[in-house]
Amino acid sequence: MNISNLIRGLASFSWIGFVGLLVAMGVRISRNQPAKGFGTAVIGALIAAIALSALGAGLVYVEPTERGVVKTIASGGIKQDSLSAGLHWIIPFVEQAVVYPISRQTYTMSTTPTEGQVVGDDSIRARTKDGQEVLIDASVIYQIDPSKIVELHINWQTRYQDELVRPATRNTIRDAVSQYSVEEIVSTKRAEMEDNINVALAKKFESNSLLLIEFLLRDVHFSPEYAKAVEQKQIAEQQAQQAKLVVESKKQEAEQARQTAQGQADAAVIASKGAAEARLIQAKAEAEANRLLSQSLTPELVQYQYILKLAPGVQTIFVPSGNQFILPLPNTKP
């Protein structure tokens, strides 16, 4: 409890004491009983009550999250300087302080009955560019501009939430929704629409002594018919996507089979080339061996090898003088 409220409480007790003493004194007088000292007590209680009431009416305590506006009977009807946080003195019964919160406030409009400031469905009904009806759940976080407290009091007083925040927000949302198709709101343009609402609403608030902290597009609801159509479309898209995946899978299998066959064919070609090259190398080697062998052959060597092949077991051959061999020797002359 701040000091101004404490003094007002003491003033109230003083008035109660004054009335009580006054009644007690009247009762004693009516019964012809002595009332000595009651007069002094009544006057003292009256003086205390008046003094405390005047003091309580003149002291104004402003919380750190508040600012005050002073109304006066002087020319202009209102002081141009607002009351900052702390204890202030105003002229009792001539001036009056009105305190406003400058902390952040949230105004919510929702389809859920207990979420917003208004009980029941308080969502914003709007029409899209293509004529579809949508229901918007939204919250506005804002605060009073501390430097424009007096201006706010003059223009709106305490009606700023019901007569400015609520209608301005609903109107701005409807204008923004009308610029987009329902498909854009659902998918690609939702963030853009929310940014546009933020910008437009901030300008309206600024021109009316309020600061927009943030606009929150909480949810978008559709009519039952459109919601059913969207569901059917999503099912069809999922089926098409599944079919596409099957086709891609078959393509991958076919490509894999083609690559396998190509690999086998390439392997066969490589094997054939390898075999051919191996045969070529072997033939070249044999030809070279034959060439070297032919160079090393002499008539004597041929005759000797011939005799060895003719009779490996014969150690001696007797031939009549002047006669040929039984078998003619091979011709070794070129």
Q: What is the mean pLDDT of residues 128-134?
A: 90
Q: 314 or 75, which is more confident?
A: 75
Q: 169 with 68, same domain?
A: no
**Shared domain check, 183 and 116:** yes
**69 plus 157 within the same structural domain:** no
**Are both 25 and 88 inside the same structural domain?**
yes
Task: Please check whether residue 227 lies inside any domain of the structure.
Answer: no
Considering only residues 156 and 273, tell me which one the structure prediction assigns the higher pLDDT.
156
Q: For residue range 210-240, list pLDDT tens digits in order.
A: 999 999 999 998 877 776 766 576 667 777 7
Which ranges of 131-223 does DSSP label H, i.e. alpha helix? 149-155, 160, 166-177, 182-186, 190-206
3-state secondary structure of 120: coil
Residues 109 and 208 in one domain: yes
Is the domain of 182 the same as that of 86?
no
CA-to-CA distance for 284 and 147, rounded, in angstroms?
Answer: 106
Tokens for 207, please give them: 């021109």
**Tens of pLDDT, residues 54-110:** 777 788 899 999 999 999 887 778 999 999 999 898 888 888 999 999 999 999 999
d(CA 288, CA 291): 5
Above 80 in pLDDT, residue 288?
Answer: no
Q: Mention every residue, 6+ apart, whose C-beta is less than 8 A from residue 91.
A: 58, 72
Q: What are the DSSP calls for 281-304, one per residue? A: HHHHHHHHHHHHHHHH--HHHHHH
Q: Which of 50, 49, 51, 100 is nearest to 71 (CA)?
A: 100
Distance (Å, rounded) from C-alpha 306 to C-alpha 278? 34
Same domain, 163 and 218: yes
User: Residue 321's pLDDT is what?
Assistant: 54
Q: Same domain for 280 and 319? A: no
- Write down the number of H helices and E strands in the chain: 9, 8
Beta partners for residue 124, in sequence order: 136
In 3D, which of 130, 136, 138 has the Cα closest to residue 229? 130
Structural domain includes residue 324? yes
What is the model's pLDDT at position 302? 64
With respect to residue 118, please indicate whether it lies within any of the assigned structural domains.
Answer: yes
In a shared domain, residues 239 and 189: no
Please tell me whether residues 129 and 40 are part of one structural domain.
Answer: no
Domain span at residue 149 reads 105-222
Question: Domain total for the chain?
Answer: 4
Q: Does residue 211 lie within any of the structural domains? A: yes
Antiparallel, parallel or unpaired: β 124-127 and 133-144: antiparallel
Other beta carbons within 10 angstroms of residue 225's beta carbon come to: 10
In a domain, 228, yes or no: no
Residues 176 and 244 in one domain: no
In contact, 100 and 67? CB cutoff 8 Å = yes
